[in-house]
Each structure stands twice: as structure tokens, then as C-alpha cells.
């Protein structure tokens, strides 16, 4: 592979047939989804991860993740507002950018304006893209990163212009400051190229230069991991331990839900066309790459959504044969079928991914069973008020020696945000990075313990008594609903010794 760009000089080269970028279809999808997300951004409330990120103190790295997403959340709370809508501005922008990239991938493989419209609208309102565009998660950043890396690789392969490997390498290196999950994409692309070619790319210095750049950019992050016993690997093992049995069963069926069931025929068409179309031969490695990511997801057992980035790329490519199918035979009937499928996906995915339903009814629908992130936004101020009522019942003497122990970072983050902190005893949590961030006072005699770790508290305090139960008041089933609040006294062996039992990764 050379550094020249034959597609720019040879009118007969397949890559020279790129149609114009369909600005109206792509930008209309971007603006529509951005407006929808903005309008709904303050409904329900903070997600548990957002509450966690805003509570983390600035650090170069954390036990459970690199620093980028917490930094973005803290920046928005400091510079814009300490509100959910402000925290979610970057997530909306990441989704908007990824929609443009998806449309660009469709164009790159020869997709017409109709194909670009299918890919932009179908992807923008997919179940997981909407979820990650609404809530500011580490996965929100990946919405843009994975398809953009894939776009650079597709250009390098299809245009036979190896210079595109360089921006791919730079982006991969930068991505490590958000999640080390980008390693899945790198492994998948390498295995795809090795298995189905074009293997000549390995003889070019450009991919190796890109790899060197990626490592160089990622080096400070990698040094931190190596000098701290690879905490990300420990975190992955903890996630696998908690989620593995479910993920290994659900990972393959869940592929149908990532973008939405009505969109499954489109990405299946993409897989088939990649394997069969002669002019797409340089891109066949993407088929293997997607299979590898799915396999790594099953083996790793951490989270079912990991294949989304590459599935979105295959979906973007599948919009091309879908548009071709519409224009063959009875085009009007087929156009209605595809338009109906996209419209159905928009409506259904909006309901299951966004806070569309009234709080009073969402608990009686299947939404919380389908999408856990919706439930994770419900009830935080109410829960904090119930915990505060327990604190207010303490005598001045008890309160002087009291702490609050939150089982998970959502509870701790909610107490920190809605407390307010000045009205509460010290808030501690042994969950993930908060375990090291919590200052542990030695003189604790009373602990108000919230959540599942009430059972742990019963083994390290002389007495523990459940005094209340968390209730969000809208019958929404989430991780906190019906969890106990216990009043515990006299830590056995002193509080620092007891505190070690509350540390946990998951």
C-alpha cells in the first residue's frame, strides 16, 4: 500500500465513485436528535455514574477508569451548572458527531443520499446511541471514537491511501484516556486483516507508524497502569465476576437491541454485502472484526454493549445495499417498508432509552427491565431525604461521632449532590475509586449504612438495626429501591479496621 491516493487521480478506481455528502439528511438527523436530547436532558435526574464522576477528586487516573469522562463532568458542573442538563451537553455532542461520521462511512463506500439518510436516521435514534447520548457515560465518548477510527481505516483500505492510518493511531492513543476498551477494536481490526486481508497493509510502514504513535500518546496512561498493578484489569475481572453469566448468555441476542430490532436487516445486509461485493473486498476484514469483538465480549463477560461501535459501522455500510434494494423492483413499496422500519425504531427506541414517560407510570412499564440506565436516573433526591431523616434523628453526641457509609457510588454521589454536605456527617463509600478517596476518621462510633452493605456492617459493628427502607415513591424498580438504611454502633476493633470490609470493585 502506498501513500498516494489513487482514488483522487484514477477516475476508474472504486473509491472515486464517492457521491456528495448528503448534508440535508445527515444534518436533519443530527439537529433533530440534539434538540430531543436537550429538551429531555433535565427530566428524571442525574444518572448514578454522573453523580459518581462529579464527586471524584481530580486525579491523573482512577482505580476503575482513566480520567477523561470524570474531567468532562467536573468541568461542566464547574463552568456551566451543577445540573444534569449541563453534565449531558458533551454526551449530546458526541452522539451528534457520531451521526455525521456514520453518514460519512456510508458515503465512503459509495452510498447515495438515500443510503446516507437511512444510516444517519437509523443510527441516531438507535436504542444504545440514544441512551449514551442522553447520559454522560464513558461509553458516550466511544460513540464517536470507534466509528471515527473505523472511518480512517476504511479510507486507508478503500482509497489505498495509507496516510489515513496516522489519524487512526492518534485517536486510538487519545482514546486510552477514556477507556482501555479501545484495545478490543485494535485487536479485532488486526485479526480481521490477518484473516481476510488485505494482508499487504502489514508490509507498509504507515500502520506501524500509526501503532507507534498510539503507544507513544497512550504511554503515560500505560505507565500508570503498569505501576499500579493494572487496576483496569482488576476492574474488568470484577465486572466479569458480577456480570459474566448474564453477559455470556445475552451478548449475541443483545446485538438485535443495540441499534434496534427494526434495523437488524440493515446491518445483516451490510455483513452479507461486505462478504460478497467485489469492490468492497478491501473491507471484508470488518466482518471478522465484528465477530472478534462479539467473541471478546462473550469471553470477557463485562458489558453487553461493547460491540456497538463496530456494529454501527456495519450498519452504515448496510444502508448502501438497503438503498439499492429500494430502487430495484417495486421501489415505492420497499421505500415505505424501510421508512416505516426507521420510523418505528425512532419511536420505540425513544421510549425505552429516554425519559419520555411520566415518572408516575414508568415503573409499571417494561422500560426499566429493558434499559437499566433509565431506572438509574430515578429517585436520588428522595432517597437522600430519607437518609437525612435518619441523620436528623441522631442525638448530638451520636452525630458528632457518625459517618454515612454508602454501598455504591450512586448513593454516595447523590448524598454529595443533594445532601448538602454541610448538613451531613462525612460520606464514605468503599466502591471503586471512592474507597481511596474517602478520608477514614478513627473516632467513628456510629455509622448510618445505606444499601446492600448493611449485611457487611452487621459483621463488623457490635450492633446494627434497620431503621428505614429506601423508597422512590413512584414504584420504579432500580438498584436502590427497597434497600435498607441501618443504624450501626461501635465498630469492632475500631473503625479503620472495620472500614476495610467495605471496599469493593464492581
Instruction: Quickly list DSSP for 58-121.
Output: P-S--SSS-SHHHHHHHHHHHHT-SSHHHHTHHHHHHHHHHHHHHHHHHHHTT--HHHHHHHHH
d(CA 306, CA 185): 10
pLDDT (mean) for 397-416: 95
Reply yes or no on whether the pLDDT at 404 is more than 90: yes
- DSSP element (H, E) containing 464: strand 461-469
Cell 456510629 belongs to residue? 446
Is 146 in contact with 129 (CB distance < 8 Å)? no
d(CA 329, CA 314): 25
Give the per-residue pLDDT at 13.
60
Q: Across the chain, what does the average pLDDT equal?
A: 93
User: By C-alpha distance, which of 354, 324, 487, 250 is closest to 35?
Assistant: 354
* Of 45-49, 76-80, 203-207, 421-425, minimum mean pLDDT range: 421-425
What is the grid cell recorded at 494? 475500631
Which of helix, strand or coil describes residue 262?
helix
What is the grid cell recorded at 336? 415505505
Give the per-residue pLDDT at 7.
56
pLDDT single digits (tens) 238-273: 888 888 888 899 999 999 999 999 999 999 999 999
Reply yes or no on whether the pLDDT at 342 is more than 80: yes
- DSSP element (H, E) containing 409: helix 409-418
d(CA 504, CA 433): 9
Give the per-residue pLDDT at 240.
85
Is 220 in contact with 173 (CB distance < 8 Å)? no
User: By C-alpha distance, which of 129, 145, 137, 135 is closest to 95?
Assistant: 129
Give the per-residue pLDDT at 137.
97
Q: Name the burial class of residue 398, with classes exposed (0-12), middle (13-18) and buried (19+) by CB atoms within 10 angstroms of its CB.
A: middle
Strands 446-450 and 402-406: parallel
Backbone angles phi, psi at 463, to 5 degrees: -150, 145
Measured CA to CA in angstroms, residue 192 lies from 123, 286, 288 at distances of 24, 6, 5
pLDDT single digits (tens) 445-504: 999 999 999 999 999 999 999 999 999 999 999 999 999 999 999 999 999 999 999 999
Give the per-residue pLDDT at 263.
97
Indicate the pLDDT class of residue 135, thresholds 50, 70 and 90. very high
pLDDT (mean) for 108-134: 97
Query: How do the domains of the chain map onto residue ranges?
Result: 15-360, 380-502
Best-predicted range by mean pLDDT among 86-100, 327-341, 419-433? 86-100
pLDDT single digits (tens) 356-373: 999 999 999 999 999 999
Cell 447520548 belongs to residue? 133
Give the per-residue pLDDT at 364.
93
Give the per-residue pLDDT at 202.
95
Alpha helices, DSSP H, located in 125-230? 127-134, 138-158, 165-175, 182-196, 205-227
Percent of the chain with pLDDT over 90: 86
Our CA dihedral for 125, 129, 135, 140, rounded to 10 degrees, sits at -150
pLDDT (mean) for 56-75: 94
Measured CA to CA in angstroms, residue 448 lies from 386, 420, 480 at distances of 12, 16, 15
Helix, strand and coil content of the chain, in percent to the nearest 5, comes to 65, 5, 25
Indicate the pLDDT class of residue 437, thresholds 50, 70 and 90. confident
Is 312 in contact with 263 (CB distance < 8 Å)? no
Reply yes or no on whether the pLDDT at 4 is more than 50: no
pLDDT single digits (tens) 205-244: 999 999 999 999 999 999 998 998 888 888 888 888 888 8
Amino acid at each position: 500500500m502506498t501513500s498516494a491516493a489513487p482514488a483522487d487521480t484514477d477516475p476508474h478506481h472504486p473509491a472515486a465513485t464517492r457521491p456528495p455528502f448528503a448534508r440535508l439528511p445527515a444534518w436533519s438527523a443530527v439537529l433533530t436528535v440534539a434538540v430531543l436530547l436537550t429538551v429531555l436532558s433535565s427530566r428524571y435526574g442525574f444518572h448514578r455514574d454522573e453523580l459518581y464522576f462529579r464527586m471524584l477528586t481530580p486525579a491523573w487516573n482512577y482505580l476503575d477508569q482513566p480520567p477523561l469522562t470524570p474531567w468532562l463532568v467536573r468541568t461542566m458542573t464547574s463552568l456551566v451548572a451543577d445540573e444534569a442538563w449541563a453534565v449531558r451537553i458533551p454526551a449530546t455532542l458526541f452522539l451528534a458527531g457520531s451521526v455525521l461520521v456514520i453518514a460519512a462511512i456510508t458515503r465512503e463506500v459509495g452510498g447515495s443520499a438515500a443510503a446516507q439518510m437511512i444510516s444517519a436516521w437509523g443510527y441516531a435514534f438507535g436504542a444504545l446511541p440514544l441512551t449514551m447520548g442522553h447520559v454522560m457515560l464513558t461509553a458516550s465518548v466511544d460513540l464517536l471514537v470507534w466509528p471515527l477510527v473505523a472511518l480512517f481505516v476504511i479510507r486507508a483500505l478503500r482509497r489505498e491511501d495509507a496516510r489515513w492510518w496516522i489519524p487512526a493511531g492518534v485517536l486510538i492513543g487519545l482514546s486510552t484516556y477514556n477507556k482501555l476498551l479501545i484495545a478490543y477494536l485494535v485487536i479485532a481490526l488486526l485479526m480481521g486483516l490477518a484473516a481476510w486481508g488485505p494482508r499487504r497493509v502489514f508490509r507498509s510502514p504507515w500502520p506501524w507508524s500509526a501503532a507507534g504513535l498510539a503507544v507513544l500518546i497512550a504511554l503515560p496512561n500505560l505507565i500508570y497502569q503498569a505501576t499500579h498493578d493494572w487496576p483496569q484489569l482488576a476492574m474488568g475481572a470484577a465486572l466479569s465476576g458480577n456480570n459474566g453469566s448474564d453477559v455470556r448468555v445475552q451478548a449475541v441476542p443483545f446485538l438485535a437491541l443495540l441499534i434496534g430490532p427494526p434495523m437488524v436487516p440493515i446491518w445483516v445486509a451490510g455483513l452479507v454485502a461486505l462478504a460478497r461485493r467485489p469492490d468492497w473486498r478491501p473491507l471484508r476484514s470488518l466482518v471478522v472484526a465484528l465477530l472478534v469483538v462479539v467473541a471478546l465480549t462473550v469471553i470477557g463477560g463485562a458489558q453487553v454493549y461493547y460491540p456497538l461501535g463496530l456494529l454501527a459501522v456495519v450498519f452504515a455500510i448496510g444502508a448502501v445495499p438497503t438503498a439499492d434494494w429500494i430502487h430495484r423492483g417495486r421501489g415505492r413499496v420497499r421505500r415505505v417498508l424501510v421508512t416505516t422500519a426507521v420510523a418505528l425504531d425512532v419511536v420505540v427506541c425513544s421510549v425505552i432509552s429516554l425519559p419520555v414517560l411520566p415518572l408516575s407510570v414508568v415503573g409499571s412499564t417494561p422500560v426499566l427491565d429493558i434499559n437499566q440506565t433509565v431506572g438509574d436516573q430515578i429517585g436520588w433526591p428522595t432517597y437522600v431525604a430519607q437518609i437525612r431523616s435518619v441523620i436528623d434523628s441522631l442525638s448530638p453526641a451520636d452525630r458528632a461521632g457518625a459517618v454515612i457509609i454508602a454501598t455504591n457510588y450512586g448513593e454516595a454521589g447523590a448524598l454529595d449532590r443533594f445532601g448538602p454536605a454541610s448538613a451531613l456527617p462525612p460520606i464514605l463509600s468503599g466502591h471503586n475509586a471512592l474507597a481511596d478517596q474517602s478520608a477514614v476518621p478513627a473516632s467513628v462510633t456510629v455509622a448510618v449504612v445505606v444499601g446492600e452493605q448493611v449485611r457487611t456492617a452487621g459483621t463488623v459493628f457490635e450492633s446494627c438495626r434497620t431503621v428505614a427502607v429506601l423508597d422512590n415513591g413512584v414504584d420504579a424498580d432500580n438498584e436502590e429501591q427497597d434497600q435498607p438504611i441501618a443504624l450501626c454502633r461501635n465498630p469492632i476493633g475500631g473503625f479503620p479496621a472495620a472500614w476495610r470490609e467495605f471496599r469493593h470493585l464492581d
